[in-house]
Amino acid sequence: MKLSFFNNFFSFLTLLTLVDWFLALQYFDSKCTNLLSQLKYGPKIYQKISGPDIDSKFSADWYNFCKEDFDFRWVRTIDFSTIKSIGQSPSFCWQIEGLPASDIFTSFPCYREDVNDLILEDGEEFSSTSETVPLVKCNPASNLAYEILFQINSLVHTQKISLGAGTDLIEILSKKDVETALMVLQKMHKLSSTCYEPDSFVKTQLHVLERNCKSIPPCSFNRLKDQNVMSCHRVLITPSKFYCLGPELETSNYVVKHFALYISEFMRVTFVEEDWSKLPANAISTSIQRDGIVIGAKRFQFLAFSASQLRSNSVWMFASNDKVKAEDISQWIGCFNKIRSVSKCAARMGQLFSSSKQTLEVHGQDVEIIPDIKVISDDIDYCFSDGIGKISESFGWVVAQKCGLNRTPSVFQIRYGGYKGVVAVDRNSYRKLSLCKSMEKFESQNRMLNVTKWSDSMPCYLNQEIITLLSTLGVKDEVFEAMQMEQLCLLGKMLMHL
């Protein structure tokens, strides 16, 4: 069920299933019913657009709220308020004139009438100049650890606490060590509803820890769990707000592992719809990628994206510091000056960000550059070795052991410096790696052999293409005829038992 609210210029749309609760407010000496609601996600905001050629400009379903034949369109837009109040607040109060509350709620499912008094008090007005809201303000003089501030923002975004309560928590937790503060905030994450007195909750939990003298391991927040698994902070960006999540476990990559000392400076950012579903690629805000995200004293800037992240509208961001900057990481990855296409350059920068297993460093004297197999026919160049190289049998066994395998696969999918592609095991090769020129995407001095995948058995259908390949490899036609006869016999037995 959809719930919509309109005025002459803007409309709001939310799913009723995504509403936590409704509350009808009736002021004394007022003929208006005020509907107070708390939403799990931000509402979809539409703007009324009219004029010539609006059908051709806004034809995609993502833009349109309704498909009736009007001379105007309700078109998706972003937060139009000057202080970004729509994105900052999870609760909204709708004023409805000339309609009693009883008529409104009788059509809602699971409606239960419970009359109580509600006292409203004037509070502080929250405003933000940041592109991303809601964001808990933190005084740089508080010296609050970034990990603690991230978790406080996460509590606000998951509606465990209100935005105004974050300032009080900063004052309390800035005096505690990181491990203790994170343990208390983790307990607050497990609450099933909003905590309206978070300072009392935190003080109680701190008192319990001190009374029990519970020791906390010093490495409890070690974000690099092992060689190939890391704990990464994640941020979701919607058209009206952003959400801090995690840290979450995911497969590591070569770049993050190399800069493991600065792992807290990495962040994975995903652009999603208000209900966290996939967002069309043409609707993604470029301002976030250009200006970055500011949380506390850290400004996260665009770094790169892998191929899988590109499909899920995700990017890697990095917070530059005095020792390492995002530009330093890009220069360490390789030289991209010869790549003129912006999209291709971004894809090449994310080549080493693919989830992979780091095996061994292969020095230049153990690598052979072999020519591609090319044929010219009718003035057309054909390359039969595009992205395909070779690996020696002995070195292939060593790499397989590093990957935790008890056999040598026939093919490895690799990332080696600026090279990308697959290498097939060659029994006659004496060099560890034989790479074609077509595998080189950019120049790099990195010598770590990263393995992303390897050949493995998998179920498939015996179709015409596979039969042709097997026949070319020497499989007799009688084998396929016998398999066909076996399947026909099975089908015949099924019909006989009807």
Reported as a single tens digit per residue, the pLDDT across 2-40 is 455 555 555 555 544 445 555 555 555 556 777 777 888
**Same domain, yes or no, for 96 and 6?**
yes
Q: What is the mean pLDDT of the chain?
A: 83
Quote the pLDDT of residue 17. 42
**Same domain, yes or no, for 386 and 450?**
yes
Does residue 384 form part of some domain? yes
Does residue 122 form part of some domain? no
Does residue 128 form part of some domain? no
**Same domain, yes or no, for 176 and 269?**
no
Domain boundary among 163, 178, 212: 212
Does residue 41 form part of some domain? yes
Domain boundary among 58, 81, 105: 105
Amino acid at 269: V
Does residue 207 form part of some domain? yes
**Same domain, yes or no, for 339 and 432?**
no
**Same domain, yes or no, for 362 and 435?**
yes
Task: Look at 447 and 115; give whichever has higher pLDDT.
Answer: 447
**Same domain, yes or no, for 366 and 265?**
no
**391 exposure class (CB count in 10 Å sphere: 0-12, 13-18, 19+):** buried
Q: What are 94's strand-pairing partners?
A: 35
**Same domain, yes or no, for 248 and 341?**
yes
Does residue 110 form part of some domain? no
Domain boundary among 154, 187, 212: 212
Strongest mean pLDDT among 13-22, 341-350, 401-410: 401-410
What is the mean pLDDT of the segment spanning 245-264? 88
Quote the pLDDT of residue 343. 81
CA distance 305 to 196: 39
Does residue 133 form part of some domain? no
227 has pLDDT over 90: no
- C-beta separation of 370 from 435 below 8 A: yes
- C-beta separation of 32 from 93 below 8 A: no
**Same domain, yes or no, for 252 and 346?**
yes
Write out pLDDT tens, residues 145-188. Answer: 999 999 999 999 999 998 888 888 998 898 888 999 999 999 99
**Same domain, yes or no, for 71 and 14?**
yes
Does residue 427 form part of some domain? yes
Domain region containing 486 = 464-496
Residue 424 maps to which CATH number? Answer: 2.40.40
Range from 34-43, 299-308, 310-319, 396-405 carrying the lowest mean pLDDT: 34-43
**98 φ/ψ sector (left φ>0, alpha ψ -120 to 50, else beta):** left
Write out pLDDT tens, residues 63-84. Answer: 455 555 566 777 778 888 877 8
**Same domain, yes or no, for 28 and 97?**
yes
- The single residue listed with the structure tokens 């931000």 is 42
Q: What is the domain count for the chain?
A: 5
**Same domain, yes or no, for 365 and 295?**
no
**Same domain, yes or no, for 7 and 64?**
yes
487 has pLDDT over 60: yes
